[in-house]
Amino acid sequence: MSTLSGIERWSEEHHPVYIDFIRILLGIFLIAKGASFINHRQQIEWLLVGHNLDFLIFLSSVYVILFHIGGGLLIATGLITRWAIAFQIPILIGAVFFINLPNGFTSINSELGFSIATLVLLILFMFYGSGNFSLDYYMKMHKDR
């Protein structure tokens, strides 16, 4: 437990304001990506069929959509940010290593760069946390009310 509290204390001491802005943009990007997946659900299912995940196709596509929209909202508002990120990381690992990486950096597969950047930002915010411009910080500072 002391390791987790040490990480949290360090992140509170070393958290510039622009990091909060990047966290909010990351959350908005995940919400937009989830909404995009709603409109293109057949493409997600087609990608999953190509990887022998037939029995989990519907469940996986719903999981990705719900957690991108819900997790993106939580990340953007700074509410239970680390938990929201913990549910996002497996999705992005799957996107990078199983969906996008086999196709490489081609003009057809422009999603690989976005997936890698999003995964790196998620890992970064797993350590930094939500910051001062977040609902977590607001609730922490206003516990007595």
pLDDT tens-digit readout, 61-71 = 788 889 999 99
pLDDT tens column, 33-62:
999 888 887 777 666 665 555 556 677 778
Extents of the domains making up the chain: 8-140
Three-state secondary structure readout of the chain: CHHHHHHHHHHHHCCCHHHHHHHHHHHHHHHHHHHHHHHCHHHHHHHHHCCCCHHHHHHHHHHHHHHHHHHHHHHHHCCCHHHHHHHHHHHHHHHHHHHHHHHCCCCCCCHHHHHHHHHHHHHHHHHHCCCCCCHHHHHHHCCCC
6-27 pLDDT, tens digit per residue, is 766 766 666 677 888 999 999 9
